[in-house]
Amino acid sequence: MEKKKDERSTRERFVDSLSGFLQRNRVAMLSIAILALVGIASFAIYAEVSSRRAEDALVRLEAAQARVDERQGLSGEEQDALDTELLSDLADIVDSHPRTYAAQRSLFLMGIINMDREDYGQAAEAFGRLADRFTDGHLAFIARANQATAYEEQGDADSALTAYRQLLELRPSANPLRARALFSIGRLTETAVQDSDGAREYYERVVNEFPQSDWTSLARNRLLALTTVAP
């Protein structure tokens, strides 16, 4: 009987203690609850706003894409004027929505327009930004390859080699342009660096690693040529 009384007394003390704690800290606990609700609401608002921003970016991208198609029928001053507007609009999409799919596509279009205008420096910059920012994106491979091509058009073999090496290292197991990258590194090593032995290593890698690639026959031809002219 005495034991039950002690247990009841203990429970009562615990309840009293808990009640006192809740009473003393009701403001703090209410604040925590409010903060939790605010956090949930903020996340919901952020998700909605982010979704709206992404949607807005896509709408603007579609409009820009239509105008890119339109420019193909223009020339001279008309095309230059449209290009100026397009590049400004696309740059604004990239700045306003930097991590969206629309930004990725906008950078790609900026690169394409500048390549067509033979502004290879700006083209290389746009393609490089795309490849750096969206390394997991489906346009990363072709953007890096296009960046290398733009550097070559500028006559900048060193930067082109760097871009091709970056392409070679980009997600190797999923990279559809590795054979192209290897051959291009070999070609520039042969022609720009004038290192035949170094070039041969890359051509051999194309042949050994990608026997079914379209680049393999080109690599074999270069290996044969290097063997023929070897002292």
Beta-carbon count within 10 A of 59 CB: 11
Whether pLDDT at 46 is above 80? no
Kindly report, residue by residue over 91-147, the tens digit of the pLDDT.
999 999 998 899 999 999 999 999 999 999 999 999 999 999 999 999 999 999 999
Whether pLDDT at 214 is above 60? yes
Helix (H, G, I), strand (E, B) or coil at 195: coil
Rounded Cα gap, residues 60 and 42, in angstroms:
26
Q: What is the dihedral of CA 161, 167, 169, 170, to 10 degrees?
A: 160
Kindly report, residue by residue over 152-168, the tens digit of the pLDDT.
999 999 999 999 999 99
Residue 1 confidence (pLDDT): 53
Rounded Cα gap, residues 77 and 100, in angstroms:
32
Whether pLDDT at 11 is above 60? no
What kind of fold does domain 9-176 have according to CATH? Answer: 1.25.40
Buried b / exposed e over 119-144, threshold 16 CB at 10 Å, is: bbebbbbbbbbbbebbeebebbbbbb
Residue 17 confidence (pLDDT): 54
Residue 39 confidence (pLDDT): 46
pLDDT bin (cut points 50, 70, 90) of residue 151 is: very high
Q: DSSP code of 173?
A: G
Global pTM value = 0.77
Q: Break the chain into its structural domains and give their ranges.
A: 9-176
Residue 7 confidence (pLDDT): 46
Residue 27 confidence (pLDDT): 47
Residue 37 confidence (pLDDT): 42
- What are the start-end ranges of the E strands in 56-194? none
- C-alpha separations of 18 from 15, 25, 69, 106 in Å: 5, 10, 71, 60
The residue whose two tokens read 């079914």 is: 212
Whether pLDDT at 44 is above 50? no
Buried b / exposed e over 25-50, threshold 16 CB at 10 Å, is: eeeeeeeeeeeeeeeeeeeeeeeeee
Residue 228 confidence (pLDDT): 84
Rounded Cα gap, residues 207 and 195, in angstroms:
19
Closest among 134, 192, 136 to 162, alpha carbons compared:
192
* Residue 118 amino acid letter: E
Of 118 and 15, which is predicted with more confidence? 118
Whether pLDDT at 70 is above 50? yes
pLDDT bin (cut points 50, 70, 90) of residue 230 is: low
Share above pLDDT 90 across residues of the chain, in percent, rounded to a whole number: 65
Residue 3 confidence (pLDDT): 46
Mean pLDDT over the full length of the chain: 84
Q: DSSP code of 213?
A: S
